[in-house]
Amino acid sequence: MGKDTFYITTPIYYVNDKPHIGHAYTTILADVLARYHRLLGEPTHFLTGTDEHGQKVQQAAKKNGVTPQEHCDATVVRFLELWKRLDITNDDFIRTTEPRHKTIVQAILQDLYDRGLIYQGSYKGWYCVPCERFFTEKDLVDGCCPDCHRPVEELEERSYSFRMSQYQQQLIDYIEAHPGFIMPETRYNETLGFLRKGPLGDLCISRPKSRLNWGIELPFDKDYVTYVWFDALVNYISAVGYRANDAEFSKWWPASYHLIGKDILTTHSVYWPTMLMAMGVPLPETIFAHGWWLVGGAKMSKSLHNVINPMDMIDTYGVDAFRYYLMAAMSLGQDADFTELLFATRYNADLANSLGNLASRVVTMVTKNLDGITPPAAVANEQNQELMDKCLKAAAAMSKAVRTMTLDLGLATVMEAVREGNRYFDQMAPWKLAKEGRIDDLKQVLRNAMECLRITSGLLYPAMPGKMGLLRRALGMSEEQVVPHIETLSVWNQLEEGAKLGELGILFQKVDLKPLVEADKKMREEADRLEAAAKKAAEAEMARQETPCELITIDQVQKVCLKTAEVIAAEAVPKSKKLLRLQLRLGEETRQIVSGIAEHYKPEELVGKTIVVVYNLKPATLCGVESQGMLLAASAGTELRLVTLDGPLPSGAVVG
């Protein structure tokens, strides 16, 4: 980092969501990084929180007969409880309904408005007075409101926009000059591709209270609240004293890392930087977009019934094992697969059979043969040199992994040192030394094994603080040594001779994989069945398209809802040569669509395009990936072209 403090943030999570593995992963990753930087002696600030404004909150509160604030107060508890269970050490938890946040958002809005960077425009649509809602023409049923079936009237609505377009070239220049600003490289290229595609539009930042009153009021127009993204992004600076405490703000800002999922890349790599440029605030050092956790190759989705509940995993395997797997099994920036079988297989290999086994053997033998007393320092020789080398190499590798955001590689090196500890233990056969009465040799072997455990447990402590704290106490370390001192992890013979070992028990209970193998088999069979059904449906659709068109009525046409969609991300579907997975923005909504256009378009060519999609198509699964709609394209022979617009229109506009 470019400063001597470390400030890390997660996205603020939408309070209506039920916490799942995606929320848990980002927050655990931030926690592990924060813990490592604290071990390095760096002043560290770790921020997370909840996004509590917007229409869904307002609707849910009305449905439950409570105020929006009461609804938020009740639902935020789900995140607070999970973070406690996951042993998260955040320094602050911000809620966007707090006065400290709302005051700053309004101050920013007023400043931008006063300087002409927010201006007034208009919006036209069909309004239902009883329902207090706008509808598009395609939403209407026989020209009436689709909800109450009463007549609607066409209204033109005032709105306010932020001059985001003014900062397009400035942002491009900044990104090109700072290759570490957006990571990993694929997301860096994706953002630049989006910005270079064409003119960047301005950002509508208002919603009228007539249809949405749960938000932060515009200070210059009491009839409007601000767009939820303009509100939410400000949390990163409002939480550390922007416009409220200059000393605190200058201490922590710019942020070292904004950790985000790749599905919210554009809001963080385009909206947020342009907002900061307009405010005259330095940009964060790095926006890091991690990948998704897939289940059997498919993105988690309620409709596919494959959402992983963190609470279930914690209850079954313990929080430390869950934290370890999430850090060790995903290469930052790439997608990773999560099934209970994959989890349990790695749990057995790394934790039960390697780390847990070595810890149990060492503590048991010291307790049984040396009265539980830490033996004298070991002397370096040919027999323990490789063990020492691998442990000290692990310390260096872990330090590098934290700096380069390659935690999985660092943890893999630590596990290599643990496995070398088991190999050394087997080779030296201390049980034979005890039987032969060679106590001095026995002490040396056990001390070397204890030193291996001391170093590796310290390196693993940020990922598994509970279990590693237990192990370090069992090694006879004092309470002040349980949280490791980073400088001691690169030096051999740091245990205190004569210290009394503590109790350990079973550190990680081995898991029976047989029932999980059977469950995994059934899951994959179901995925194959769904894929086959989707393929059959696709073939039927192609056959239908090749047959002469039948005449249809206007009523049938009106059932199809077409909308404009902006492509914000695109990538190939694993194990498929034809399919691309597109992330689309339709107004305030984000959707995923899978389409067989990989032979005609490269993913980077699509980012930034505005296309037309069938909005109300029932979701389907293709190659294990859910598709929430269908894009429109024209084909002739081997040629295929997407249906696009001949001029700029916002995403989510109705086509018809």
- Residue 235 burial (CB < 10 Å; 0-12/13-18/19+)? buried
SS3 of 222-240: the string is EEEEECHHHHHHCHHHHCC
What pLDDT is stored for residue 210 in this prediction? 87
Q: Judging by beta carbons within 10 Å of its beta carbon (0-12, 13-18, 19+), is residue 524 exposed, middle or buried?
A: middle
Question: Which regions of the chain are under pLDDT 70?
Answer: 1-2, 123-125, 127-136, 138-139, 146-148, 155, 296-307, 527-528, 530-531, 534-535, 537-550, 555-558, 574-577, 588, 621-625, 636-638, 647-648
Q: How far apart are CA 406 and CA 391, in angstroms?
A: 18
Euclidean distance between CA atoms 182 and 200, whole angstroms: 19
Tell me how far CA of residue 530 lies from CA of 73, 139, 429, 520, in angstroms: 40, 31, 53, 15
Query: How far apart (Å, rounded) are the C-alpha atoms in residues 166 and 230?
Result: 17
Q: Could you tell me if residue 493 is left (phi over 0), alpha (psi between -120 and 50 degrees) or otherwise beta?
A: left
pLDDT of res. 145 = 73
Specify the pairing of strand 293-295 against strand 298-299. antiparallel
What pLDDT does 239 receive?
Answer: 98
What pLDDT sits at residue 538? 62
CA distances in angstroms from 340 to 164, 306, 335, 429, 463, listed in the order given? 45, 11, 17, 35, 19
pLDDT of residue 1: 41
Residue 81, SS3 per DSSP: helix
What's at 55, amino acid-wise?
Q
pLDDT digits (tens, 9 = 90+) for 387-402: 999 999 999 999 999 9
CA 403 to mean position of chain CA atoms:
19
CA distance 340 to 342: 6
What single letter denotes the amino acid at residue 618?
K
CA 471 to chain centre: 30
Among 465, 495, 492, residue whose Cα is nearest residue 393: 492
Confidence (pLDDT) at 582: 83
3-state secondary structure 358-374: HHHHHHHHHHHHCCCEC
Is the pTM value of this prediction over 0.85?
Answer: no
Q: Which of 202, 286, 194 is nearest to 236 (CA)?
A: 286
Residues paired with 226 in a beta bridge: 206
Residues comprising the chain, all counted: 656
Domains of the chain with CATH codes: 334-490 (1.10.730.10), 552-655 (2.40.50.140)
Q: What is the pLDDT of residue 534?
A: 62
**DSSP secondary structure letter of residue 268:** I
